[in-house]
Amino acid sequence: MKYLSKIFAILFLTVLATSARAQTVNPDADNQLHSDLSLQYLVHLPSRSTSPPPVIILLHGMGSNEQDLYSLIPELPQKYAVVSARGPYTFAEGSYQWFQGTLVNSRLDGDPQQLAASRARISGFVDEVVTKYRFDPHQVYLVGFSQGAIMSYQVALTEPAKIKGIGVMSGAIFGSFVPLIKPSPKLSHLRIFISHGQADHRIPIGYAQEADQQLKGLGLKPEFHVYPGMQHEINSDALADLINWLQGS
């Protein structure tokens, strides 16, 4: 078990360089950590407001925190409100995760109880955020990196009525989750963006390719981007493609 733990510390740990840039947050953003809902979070309201505004809910990777993807606010389309949630499980001081990684038949997966609990927490959090801030309930986007990307799949594919689209960066659809995915007309509206590095050794590119085929098998049309040389990270090309996808909503 100690050996497996070491494996997953390597496989799932978010690249520190990606997390480090999150320490510089848009000075116009609300950098106050809120604890009044089922997940702790940061919130930024759009400067160019529509009524009600669409919202992006950011889900960080393993070993990171709510500040991480929040640093992207200056780059994201201004029409969106942005909410960045903190994972419910402590990984280390100041860093969190959505679940503990595990291996099932030599494939990446996660603790089933924690996956189910985080899926339920995020789903409930979507309802709470939309109600409290009066966001458009028909324009909710989940954007996640690594573990956050994995949770984006899990929430959107089981609760499609709540989610308009997902931005999946360096993620996977776990084998344990596949039995929960059911073809349904309710999925037909779901917009999906996938970005993945060809050189990703933490979640290898094969997981993203499998997810792309599984989604197509559900009748969905994901926008799938692979970046040569990119590792487990978000490079400038991947960010630019994500922004273009969000602008097209």
Q: Where are the domains of the chain?
A: 2-247
Residue 171 backbone class (left: φ over 0; alpha: ψ -120 to 50; beta: rest) = beta
**Count of beta carbons in the 10 Å neighbourhood of residue 149:** 28
Bridge partners (DSSP) of residue 84 are: 42, 58
Residue 178 backbone class (left: φ over 0; alpha: ψ -120 to 50; beta: rest) = alpha
H/E segment holding residue 92? strand 89-92
121 has pLDDT over 70: yes
Bridge partners (DSSP) of residue 144 are: 59, 168
189 has pLDDT over 90: yes
Higher pLDDT, 21 or 115: 115
pTM: 0.89
Return the pLDDT at 7.
39
Could you tell me the pLDDT band of residue 9, with boundaries at 50, 70 and 90? very low
pLDDT tens, residue by residue, 60-72: 999 999 999 999 9
3-state secondary structure at position 239 = helix
**Residue percentage of the chain with pLDDT more than 90:** 84
CATH fold label, 2-247: Rossmann fold (3.40.50)
How many Å apart are CA 168 and CA 215, to the nearest integer?
12
Contacts of 121 (CB under 8 A, 6+ apart): 38, 39, 88
Phi then psi dihedrals of residue 50, to 5 deg: -105, 165
Phi then psi dihedrals of residue 101, to 5 deg: -70, 150
How many Å apart are CA 65 and CA 200, to the nearest integer?
21
Per-residue tokens: 8:
């997953």
Contacts of 24 (CB under 8 A, 6+ apart): 71
Residue pair 155/189 in contact by the 8 Å Cβ criterion:
no
pLDDT tens, residue by residue, 74-116: 999 999 999 999 999 999 999 999 999 999 999 999 999 999 9
